[in-house]
């Protein structure tokens, strides 16, 4: 079941009514049942995998809490191998088997496994639960229902955020209760997230899909437009899901962490990944990979190695069914790792210049240039993320590069379609809203407006969703990864 499907509003209303009517003591059970219905809708087999992961995490978590050190080690290792090993098998076994056969002619049996929707997300949540329990930062939960709800909570199961048990479980250990004063902010997030998905992302998708499907025959300008459109398509698709997940959870009195913070206004690639894009995944890699490897404390060479390792592993994590399992994701990860290297190498010089010329460091024009540079570096890497092969990505980049000198002259006569014009207008609208929100949160601005103005804005968003939204039930991109 998708947030943008016609049946989801009915499902949500039923769950909310049941949540109010059920005794507070048993609300956790009602929410688990709702989450399993949501996740199993359309493909009940998904529940087998979810149930298996939940059982492994619960049992191994209890064993990790044992006073016997050998039992703790075995349980921790077994739990991680089961969770992360299954994730690896789903994503890469058949791909690597085919690559080995192509390279050496060795026949390797295939498993034919397809990862269930959202498996990467709840597998990472399961791993974080086990690691936190092993480190002692989390007391293993003895209530199996709470562990099940942590992993299965329906707003986040398909595409995150990758919530930590240390933040989620305390909220469901006490009485789960909605806060009526936060209903407005919850509905605002749901509406804005839905707008980003069905109005912006899904209206950009046809232009992107058509150009990438015929990359060898598309004109340089057509490919360039598709590359720009994809940057905003994937952002609005993914952040739209996150906004809706946070808003829906808030209706039930459960808080999820922020996952996006206007990423295309970042002034550096480091800021983009650490503070603004897929924040929950960035923190996961920071806490469970980068810091355990030594972070920036083990010398210059290790710092560079650790930074690259994070992005290579991130590339592996992103490899999925969405755009095929291929080497393009490793290149995408390595490119962003290389950007980090450049940032680390130039950091001392930039700091020194900032101290000597403080006006330059505070310049709005320089800040705008840094935002543009960061955006285009990320844009370049998105080509490899979206392309179905390395050859296709290189072809697109080559055609765009060779065609750049002629593009200004072509623009005046290019036969732009309604999809082009609508997409460009929506991107400009999004950027305008985010520039305003960068100064002050939109919720605060809305709260300070007169009621008639607020309702005009609400009705305008609803009207745009109904009229401009594409309601073909298009999946969220990150569900497939």
Cis check: omega of the bond before 429, within 30 degrees of 0:
no
- Cα separation, 338 vs 221, in Å, equals 28
Give dist(CA 343, CA 323) in Å, integer: 29
Pairwise CA distance, residues 477 & 241, whole Å: 10
**CB burial string 313-330: b at 16+ within 10 A, e below:** bbbebbbbebbebbebbb
Alpha helices for 216-287 (secondary structure H): 220-251, 269-271, 279-285
Calpha distance 303→301 (Å, rounded)? 5
Contact 100, 106 (CB under 8 A): yes
The b-or-e profile of 101-139 (16+ CB within 10 A means b, else e) is eeeeeeeeeeeeeebbbbbbbbbbbbbbbbbbbbeeebe
Point out the catalytic residue in the list 318, 376, 413, 420: 318
Burial status of residue 455 (CB atoms within 10 A of its CB: 0-12, 13-18, 19 or more): exposed
Q: Which DSSP string corresponds to 379-410?
A: HHHHHHHH-SSHHHHHHHHHHHHHHGGGHHHH
Q: Phi, psi at residue 136, to the nearest 5°?
A: 95, 5
CA distance 219 to 198: 27
Is there a catalytic annotation at residue 420?
Answer: no
CA distance 154 to 37: 9
- The Cα 478–Cα 321 span in angstroms is 10
Active site residues: 318
């Amino acid at each position: 079941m998708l947030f943008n499907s016609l049946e989801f509003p009915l499902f949500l209303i039923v769950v909310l009514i049941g949540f109010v009517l059920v005794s507070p003591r048993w609300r956790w059970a009602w929410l688990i049942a709702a989450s399993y219905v949501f996740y199993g809708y359309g493909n009940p087999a998904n529940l087998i995998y979810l149930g298996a992961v939940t059982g492994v995490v619960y049992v191994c978590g209890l064993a990790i809490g044992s006073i016997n050190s050998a039992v703790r080690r075995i349980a921790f290792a077994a739990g991680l191998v089961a969770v992360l090993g299954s994730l690896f098998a789903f994503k890469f076994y058949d791909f690597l088997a085919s690559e080995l056969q192509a390279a050496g002619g060795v026949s390797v049996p295939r498993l034919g496994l397809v990862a269930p929707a959202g498996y990467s997300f709840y597998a990472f949540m399961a791993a974080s639960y086990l690691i936190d329990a092993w480190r002692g930062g989390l007391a293993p939960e003895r209530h199996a229902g709470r562990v099940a709800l942590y992993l299965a909570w329906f707003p986040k199961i398909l595409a995150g955020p990758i919530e930590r048990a240390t933040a989620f479980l305390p909220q469901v250990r006490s009485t789960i209760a909605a806060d009526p004063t936060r209903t407005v902010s919850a509905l605002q997030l749901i509406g804005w997230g839905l707008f980003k998905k069905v109005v912006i992302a899904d209206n950009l998708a046809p232009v992107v899909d058509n150009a990438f499907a015929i990359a060898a025959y598309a004109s340089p300008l057509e490919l360039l437009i598709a590359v720009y459109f994809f940057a905003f398509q994937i952002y609005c698709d993914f952040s739209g899901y996150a906004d809706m997940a946070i808003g829906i959870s808030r209706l039930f009195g459960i808080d999820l962490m922020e996952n996006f913070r206007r990423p295309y206004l970042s002034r550096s690639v480091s800021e983009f990944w650490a503070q603004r894009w897929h924040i929950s995944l960035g923190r996961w890699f920071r806490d469970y990979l980068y810091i355990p490897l030594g972070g920036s404390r083990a010398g210059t060479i290790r710092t560079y190695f650790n930074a690259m390792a994070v992005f290579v592993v991130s590339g592996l994590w992103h490899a999925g069914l969405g755009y095929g399992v291929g080497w393009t994701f490793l290149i995408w990860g390595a490119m962003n790792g290389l950007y980090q290297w450049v940032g680390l190498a130039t950091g001392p010089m930039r700091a020194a210049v900032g101290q000597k010329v403080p006006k330059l460091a505070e310049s709005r024009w320089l800040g705008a240039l840094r935002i543009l540079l960061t955006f285009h570096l990320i844009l370049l890497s998105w080509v490899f993320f979206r392309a179905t092969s390395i050859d296709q990505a290189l072809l697109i980049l080559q055609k765009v590069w060779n065609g750049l000198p002629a593009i200004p002259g072509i623009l005046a006569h290019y036969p732009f379609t309604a999809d082009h014009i609508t997409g460009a207008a929506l991107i400009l609208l999004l950027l305008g809203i985010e520039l305003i929100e960068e100064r002050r949160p939109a919720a605060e601005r809305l709260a300070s407006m007169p009621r008639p103005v607020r309702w005009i804005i609400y009705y305008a968003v609803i009207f745009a969703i109904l009229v401009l939204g594409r309601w073909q039930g298009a999946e969220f991109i990150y569900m497939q990864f």
